[in-house]
Amino acid sequence: MDEIKEPVSKFVKVRCPKCKNEQIMFGKASSVVGCLVCGKVLAEPTGGKAKVKARILEVLE
């Protein structure tokens, strides 16, 4: 249970819950971020902050 729900202002590596694709995205994306493989929404902006809906595997420094 290491899922991070709070938005982070760094790049994060996330795993798509649908197809398990791993990709890098900005933790506070200002627009909808979709999975590059299946198109599932991985993060959506909510009042300026991104709500990450995928599992964050790693926060990149």
Binding site for Zn ion (CB under 5 A): 16, 18-19, 21, 35, 37-38, 40
Q: Least distance (Å) from Zn ion to the CB of residue 42?
A: 8
CB atoms within 10 A of CB 5: 8
N-terminal to C-terminal alpha carbon distance within the chain:
22
Q: Least distance (Å) from Zn ion to the CB of residue 37?
A: 5
For residue 48, give every residue at least 6 positions away whose Cβ sits within 8 Å of its Cβ, in sequence order, or none: 30
Q: Which is nearer to Zn ion, 18 or 49 (CB)?
A: 18
Q: Least distance (Å) from Zn ion to the CB of residue 43?
A: 13
